[in-house]
Amino acid sequence: MTRWGMVIDLKKCVNCYACVIACKQEHFLPPGKFWNRVLVSETGEYPLVTKVVYPVLCNQCKEAICVNACPSTATTRRNDGIITIDPDKCSGCQYCVIVCPYQQRTYQDNKKEYFPGQGLTELEKIGHELYPHQTGTVTKCNFCQERIDEGIKRGLKPGIDREATPACVITCMVKARHFGDLADPDSNVSRLIQKRRAHQLHPEFGTEPSVYYVE
Amino acid sequence: MVKMKGEKTKNKKIEIYDDVWIPTQCHRCQAECGILAHRVNGVVVKLEGNPDSAIGSRGGLCPKGLAGVQLLYDPNRLNAPLKRTNPEKGIGVDPKWQEITWDEALEEIAGRLKKVMEEDPSKIMLQIGISSSTMIVPLFLAKLMMALSTKKGSPLPIISGGSHCGNAGHFINAVNYAAFVTQPDWKYCNYVLQWGTNFGEGGFMQYANRLAAEARERGMKLVVFDPVCNIAASKADEWVPLLPGTDAAVALGLLNVIVNELGIYDAEYLKKKTNASYLVGEDGHYLRDKTTHKPLVWDVKDSKAKVFNDPSISDFDLDETHKVNGLKCRPAWQLLKEHFKKYTPEKVAEISGVSANAIRRIAKEFAEAAMVGATITIDGKQLPYRPVAIQHIRAAVTHGNGTQNTFALDLLVHVLGAANVPGGMQSVSVECHGYPGSGLPHLEVVPDADGFVSVGGKWLFPENRLWPVVPPEYPHHDLIELFTSALEVPLWGGADREELLRKARISSQIDVILNFCTNGVFNSANPRDKAAFLKTVPFIVDIDIFPNEFNEGFADIVLPDASYLEYTDWSGIQHMYHNQPPVLDEPWCFHITQKVVEPQYQRRHAAQVIDDLLYRMGMYEKVIGYYNGFLCLPEELQLPHGKKIVWEDLCDRVARQHFGDEHGWEWFKKHGFISWPKKVEEQYWRPFKDIRSQVYWEFMIDHGRNVKAISQELGIEMDWQQYSPLPDWFPCAPHKVTDPDYDLYAFCYREPTHVGSVTMEQPWIDEASAMNPYTYNIALSTETARKKGLKPGDFIEVESSRGNKVHGRLEVRKGQHPQTLTIMGTAGHWAKGQPIARGKGVNFNSLMEMRYSECDPISFSLEVLVKVKLKKVK
Amino acid sequence: MKPYNWMVQCTPQTNWIERRGIIIWLSIFSGILGGGAYFTSLIFNNLGGMFTSWLIVVVIKCGLHLAHAEKPLRLWRMILRPQTSWISRGLILTISLIVLGAVQLALTTWAPGTPVEIAFKMLAGIAAFGVMVYGGFALNYVSGIPFWNTSIMPVLFILWGILLGLAMLLVVDRGSANIQVAVAGTSVLTIGILVITTLHLWTETYKGSTARESVKKLIRGYIAPMFFIGTFVIGLVLPLIIILICYFNSSLPSLSLTVVMLVSEVLGGLAFTYCVMKVGLYNPLLAVRE
Ligand SMILES: Nc1nc2c(c(=O)[nH]1)N[C@H]1C(S)=C(S)[C@@H](COP(=O)(O)OP(=O)(O)OC[C@H]3O[C@@H](n4cnc5c(=O)[nH]c(N)nc54)[C@H](O)[C@@H]3O)O[C@H]1N2
Ligand SMILES: Nc1nc2c(c(=O)[nH]1)N[C@H]1C(S)=C(S)[C@@H](COP(=O)(O)OP(=O)(O)OC[C@H]3O[C@@H](n4cnc5c(=O)[nH]c(N)nc54)[C@H](O)[C@@H]3O)O[C@H]1N2
Ligand code: SF4
Ligand code: SF4
Ligand code: SF4
Ligand code: SF4
Ligand code: SF4
Ligand SMILES: [Mo]
């Protein structure tokens, strides 16, 4: 069985936030809402300091706490490992937002404009039609499941063919993001994980993230 | 576009009558990457990188590029010609715009221009920026220069923020690489010393980011010298903090260790590809052949001085003192070698704060990594293999000692023989044999009279012409005629400008400014001083896409340009000085720009507006002649006289001229770009040519003397010592501030999220900037903040040693030199017309002052370092 | 919090306490109060108390849930995952309490002592206990917030629930109130809460920087007054003093004093739950940038 996963190469990432913006563009996310972010910190003491940059997104956890916590069954785990939310089933209780230790879920509580007080731009207007977000529900990164599903239907391979690959992955100018099947030991991601001894973010939470990092 | 499932969506399903991907180009920075624009029902909904193009990251798109759609649909864009009704001008003054028609606007501008042209065209200033690509040069600057020039004079071209830019770097690139821009050979390089730039780590040019990342992945070592643990440093194997403005000292220290302590240098290269073997007399000048006047070298075998390119030379001497024509002389290399000895690692450590140990260790690593003597065979051609390079652009070299900085840094390359060979430093696009069949575009490196690199080919813009340096003249209306080694002379916003003009006896009166693609008050130092000048200009026209600090404060008429998703042109066919990846495996790749949507509202494509303006001034024939001439259109493709230009028809002619009739505009509209493989001789041109770089700057002696003579006659004093044939570290003005209250060096830098200042207005970029701890804040080292009793979030006032102040919130980082203070360079907007940008971050330029006396006397680079003090305020 | 410090430094949970999230806090408290009071009333077999607490659950708790929901028509869906979700369980328990409670109230009124009534009492008791405690488990389940991620949470919920129940009983049914039991119960529970809370804070300080940060926020931050004065002084110490004074005077507290006790304990409980919600800090994803 397929299990989609991502590997982010921290040696390559240049802290550019393109992934954050590409995701917003792909999914017409309203202002202030993010399905992924880039975190910046540093370790060490001057002059032996290292700047630390971590792009983070929903880990599509194998043992997803959010699925367990969701009372309405709106959040489910697909057979391919993607944790998905059915917007028509979500009651908006936000318990999933609370329980996700990675804080990767956001509540859609507004239809704000990107240019406050100046109305919706044409881009936002068509976005409301093409990719509506229901207010009063929770959303999060869905590994671009629409791209994957549509791509597979067209015979494309996610992680290899760009049209079937998540938007944040293809926009990365340094190719720091890799996407593929974790269940396949020969996939690009599995090999990277093997070769470069990848780590997950906070494995101690026991959620078995499908997003890995290599340094 | 895939639509999401769900009841709501089902109800909402809209009819899709238009769904296309259009190949075009991003024009948000000089990289001009190939992109694909997705249009649905007439709206651009998504931008992606073009995966098939080498210009870009092969499919990726940087944050600025992505935000291009928000730029397109920003409700704050300029949508109609505007006229100022408030006669008062100045920073923060409300222009009280009134909408006028295009006819009214163009008639008024035409009238004004005609009047000034009759008086004296040199009272017209053409001010440009970097933002919307290179088309600025051929379609605006060059065209207007040609059209508006008369026997009485020609307009004054100015790059508004340009002296802030890497002009010292452009100078060294021109002198030693025949290039505007240089880069490491990402494919083969194994060790890069990077000096104050994030070039391949978030800087512009996606391809550089992509290739640099691949290089790091393959194990290329990166050492970053920077006062801040910037992005490059965070990707590097080693970050070496140094005091700003001391790069030359460190470079010379490294050279001293490499050459004198380790005894490593590429003698072959120095002998044949540089002037290290040229014999220098006691006056510092070359010994020249009596008849040919060519520089002499010493042939070891024949024990005799010969002209440098004498084919009978078997071996060039580098080491001995000789007597030629009764004059004592030595190869230039001896002078250099001895000169380096001044820079012991211990002394350098004192200047720069980089430890002597680090200097010795890095020097050894770097020199050994160069593998002097090694070769590599590529495409059956055996070439020297020197996998080491350096990288610098703006920040490290935009100081009063800028050119000397770049000179010293660049010697690291030449001493190890690593220029334009596999693994080493590469020139960007100076050797291009053109599309097979047409041979266009054509560029080549040719030797000048003394054997040094120079450029040939008919597609060069004047900007590349820094070398050979032309002799200085008495200034007429701009000091550029005097300081000929400068790309430009930043006169127009200088704090000591009046004094300088008085001395230079230049009439400073400008009657009309045509401003294009530049925020010429926000991006120059200091806005207040620039404003003082702008207030003296009676008529200012600005062509922009946004209301900004410049036009709100000073323009009389503003014309709304189309943005790159709304116009069509061939800029990508002509522009190649930044965006062709200088890597053999990356093919030549030339793009066109095509509109994805029609210009909205009353916006018009500026290039065509200029033609219209000249038409109204009765100069249409000149315009046609310009295109025919500037583009060198062959006879059959020349524009017919007496007929109005049809834009796409002109585009078609340019395309067919370059790539043949089968590749006309229609072909390009479908394919977006054309591409063909690069040849080894194009990429690694140096081993194939008998052309030399200058490790000893003999020309500086005369050039300096001449510039100094005229200057001193006029009473202009600069740091003349810097016109020296040997590189040195010179302290710059802020290093000489002695008042202990001003205890910090302040400087600015760029973020990957921003390009120029116009990205501040896109909400996505704003959100991303807010996610970055430093973009909108003033940063200090954690240690320094603690010592000063300051905490993150404190509101602080920064005051320069000249009393200029800025305010902002404090953030701290451990990865920063304790004696420095940093600000993200392009923030702090105050224009009312940009509500997203307004009031965010800090305007660094308000802290600086542009004083000619502190500029680099050679390249006229600004001094961008400011000595400051700070305190907490309410 | 600055956007760039989000999950880089300890990050407060906001969804369940800020803006509309305020309602969640109130409904969590109403669960403790309603469930606790019902449970206590059952123990003391006090019909008035049961009815009042039933009303609290039906009107206040359910009302708050409805008020919070932007999609009230979907609320029913929340019973669909009792296997794993404490919210599902809580909702099922709440519905059970409402339904079983209604039946049991009727039986207790009209057929007291019958085996059916006793059976329903048992069932209602279980439901009431669950309603009182499930919020605690819901918090305990949140692994990202160390301050919550402890079984002390449900224990505190139980103690508070019964304490509040006792106070309510004193007000609602003065006739059958037993001062000995009231005093003993209140003192034991109050002291229990004090001890366990202190213990919790103390152990938290050893659990890592985020937990320590939560404790710091609680006892030194801007909510410290709410915690010390609201929870401790008003919610626990004041009622304890009142009831001890009455005890030593060997008299039942007057109606007004019991009301004062109830009100102050309710305030204390509100303050307690508010503080708990407010100091819920997530473990940062990266090492802390000082
Ligand atoms: N503090 C500080 N100042 C600096 C620098 C720094 O690092 N820090 N850097 C300096 C350097 S190196 C440079 S090169 C300069 C750059 O300075 P500028 O060349 O002035 O660049 P931008 O800030 O991008 O401003 C460009 C203007 O062009 C407009 N524009 C954008 N697209 C279009 C278009 O399609 N058509 C038209 N007509 N207009 C358009 C924008 O609205 C904006 O007003 O700044 C210099 N100034
Ligand atoms: N994303 C993005 N990329 C751009 C641009 C943009 O606007 N946005 N603009 C383009 C243009 S026009 C230019 S000119 C270039 C400029 O590009 P760069 O030359 O890279 O300039 P900065 O980013 O301003 O500064 C880079 C680094 O120099 C360090 N620095 C400052 N002073 C010194 C010094 O004295 N010595 C040393 N060693 N380091 C120092 C700073 O800490 C900073 O980390 O960028 C180009 N690329
Ligand atoms: S797009 Fe790539 S390089 Fe940029 S922040 Fe995201 S992962 Fe890093
Ligand atoms: S990261 Fe959070 S939201 Fe995503 S699957 Fe894991 S627990 Fe669920
Ligand atoms: S908010 Fe929606 S998705 Fe999240 S737990 Fe509640 S019902 Fe499930
Ligand atoms: S995978 Fe798709 S949904 Fe998830 S962060 Fe990337 S772009 Fe956004
Ligand atoms: S690098 Fe420059 S041209 Fe390329 S996509 Fe980014 S902003 Fe556009
Ligand atoms: Mo620049």
Instruction: Tell me the ipTM for this assembly.
Output: 0.95
Q: Which residues of A touch C81 (CB under 8 A)?
A: 68, 70-73
What is the pLDDT confidence band of residue B298, given thresholds at 50, 70 and 90? Answer: very high
Beta-carbon separation of A146 and B765 below 8 A:
no
Beta-carbon separation of C15 and A98 below 8 A:
yes
Closest alpha carbon to C197 in C262, C272, C130, C124 = C272
Q: Which residues of B touch A17 (CB under 8 A)?
A: 63, 752-753, 768, 771-772
- The residue whose CA has the least distance to atom 6 of ligand 5 is A93
Closest alpha carbon to B139 in B511, B515, B570, B551 = B570
**CA distance, residue A110 to nearest chain B CA (Å):** 16
Instruction: Tell me the mean pLDDT in the region A83-98.
Output: 94
At B137 the pLDDT is 75
Which atom of ligand 3 is closest in space to residue A175's alpha carbon?
2
Touching A: which chains, 3+ CB pairs < 8 A? B, C
**CA distance, residue B178 to nearest chain A CA (Å):** 29
At C145 the pLDDT is 95
Q: For residue A198, give the H/E element and its range.
A: none
Touching B: which chains, 3+ CB pairs < 8 A? A, C
Q: Which of A4, A104, A143 is the pocket-test mutation for ligand 6 (most atoms within 8 Å of CB)?
A: A143
A171 contact B CB<8A: yes
B782 contact C CB<8A: yes
A29 contact B CB<8A: no
Instruction: Tell me the mean pLDDT in the region B163-175.
Output: 88
Instruction: Tell me the mean pLDDT in the region B452-481.
Output: 72
At B180 the pLDDT is 87
Closest alpha carbon to B777 in B689, B867, B860, B844 = B844
pLDDT tens digits for range A140-177: 999 999 999 999 999 999 999 999 999 999 999 999 99
CA C15 – CA C17 distance, rounded (Å)? 6
Q: How many C-beta atoms surround the C-beta of residue B778 within 10 A?
A: 26
Q: Is B463 exposed, middle or buried (0-12, 13-18, 19+ CB in 10 A)?
A: middle
Phi, psi of B634 (to 5 degrees): -65, 160
Could you tell me the pTM of the whole model?
Answer: 0.95
Q: Give me the torsion for CA of A101, A105, A109, A114, rounded to 10°.
A: 120
- The residue whose CA has the least distance to atom 20 of ligand 1 is B518
Q: What three-state secondary structure class fits B541?
A: strand
CA B439 – CA B680 distance, rounded (Å)? 16
At B525 the pLDDT is 84
- The residue whose CA has the least distance to atom 46 of ligand 2 is B204
At B4 the pLDDT is 40
Ligand 5 midpoint to CA B607 (Å): 54
Beta-carbon separation of B229 and A50 below 8 A:
yes
A69 contact B CB<8A: no
Which atom of ligand 6 is closest in space to residue A6's alpha carbon?
1
At A74 the pLDDT is 95
Query: Nearest CB to B66: which of A18, A127, A175?
Result: A18
Which atom of ligand 4 is closest in space to residue A75's alpha carbon?
8
Ligand 2 midpoint to CA B245 (Å): 13
Beta-carbon separation of A123 and B234 below 8 A:
no
* Cα B566 to Cα B73, B518, B587, distances in angstroms: 11, 19, 28
Q: Give me the torsion for CA of B774, B777, B782, B787, rounded to 10°.
A: 170
What's the whole-number average pLDDT of chain B?
92
B14 contact C CB<8A: no
* Cα A77 to Cα A74, A200, C229, distances in angstroms: 10, 19, 46
Q: What percent of chain B is predicted at pLDDT more than 70?
A: 97
Phi, psi of B71 (to 5 degrees): -70, -40
Closest alpha carbon to B483 in B857, B58, B88 = B857
Q: Which of B66, B354, B750 is the pocket-test mutation for ligand 2 (most atoms within 8 Å of CB)?
A: B750
pLDDT tens digits for range B20-77: 999 999 999 989 999 999 999 999 999 999 999 999 999 999 999 999 999 999 999 9
**CA distance, residue C4 to nearest chain B CA (Å):** 4
What is the pLDDT confidence band of residue A89, given thresholds at 50, 70 and 90? Answer: very high
Instruction: Tell me the mean pLDDT in the region B162-170.
Output: 84
CB of A141 shorter than 6 A to ligand 6: yes
Beta-carbon separation of C290 and B770 below 8 A:
no
Cβ–Cβ < 8 Å for B599, B605: yes
Q: Which ligand is nearest to the CA of A175?
A: 3
Beta-carbon separation of A100 and C283 below 8 A:
no
Task: Classify B178 in phi/psi space as left (phi over 0), alpha (psi -120 to 50) or beta.
Answer: left
What is the pLDDT confidence band of residue B133, given thresholds at 50, 70 and 90? Answer: low
- Higher pLDDT: A75 or B525? It is A75
Q: How many C-beta atoms surround the C-beta of residue B681 within 10 A?
A: 14
What is the pLDDT confidence band of residue B259, given thresholds at 50, 70 and 90? Answer: very high
Lowest mean pLDDT among B108-112, B369-373, C172-176: C172-176
CA C276 – CA C197 distance, rounded (Å)? 11
Ligand 1 midpoint to CA B131 (Å): 5
What is the pLDDT confidence band of residue B157, given thresholds at 50, 70 and 90? Answer: confident
What is the pLDDT confidence band of residue B506, given thresholds at 50, 70 and 90? Answer: confident
At B462 the pLDDT is 44
Beta-carbon separation of A69 and C75 below 8 A:
no
Ligand 8 midpoint to CA B395 (Å): 10
At B456 the pLDDT is 67
Q: Which residues of B touch A172 (CB under 8 A)?
A: 57, 60
Q: Which residues of B touch A15 (CB under 8 A)?
A: 202, 231, 234, 752, 772
Ligand 5 midpoint to CA A27 (Å): 20
Ligand 3 midpoint to CA A8 (Å): 9
Ligand 3 midpoint to CA A53 (Å): 9
What is the pLDDT confidence band of residue B6, given thresholds at 50, 70 and 90? Answer: very low
Closest alpha carbon to B772 in B798, B748, B754 = B754
CB of B552 shorter than 6 A to ligand 1: no
At B465 the pLDDT is 59
Output DSSP code: residue B469: P
Instruction: Tell me the mean pLDDT in the region B102-123.
Output: 95
Residue ranges near ligand 8 (ion) with Cβ within 5 Å: B 165
- A with B: how many residue pairs have Cβ under 8 Å apart? 199
At C175 the pLDDT is 62
- B with C: how many residue pairs have Cβ under 8 Å apart? 17
Using the predicted structure, report yes or no on whether residue B459 has a pLDDT greater than 90: no
Beta-carbon separation of B8 and A88 below 8 A:
yes
Q: Which residues of B touch C2 (CB under 8 A)?
A: 770, 773, 793
In chain C, which residues touch B (CB < 8 A)? 2-6, 289-290
Map B196-230 to HEC letters.
CCCCCCCCCCHHHHHHHHHHHHHCCEEEEECCECC
Q: Which residues of B touch A21 (CB under 8 A)?
A: 63, 66-67, 764-765, 768
Beta-carbon separation of C143 and A40 below 8 A:
no
Query: Nearest CB to B782: which of C3, C6, C290?
Result: C290
Query: Nearest CB to B770: which of C3, C289, C290?
Result: C3
Residue ranges in chain C whose pLDDT is less than 70: 174-179, 287-290
Instruction: Tell me the mean pLDDT in the region B624-629.
Output: 90
Using the predicted structure, report yes or no on whether residue B217 has a pLDDT greater than 80: yes
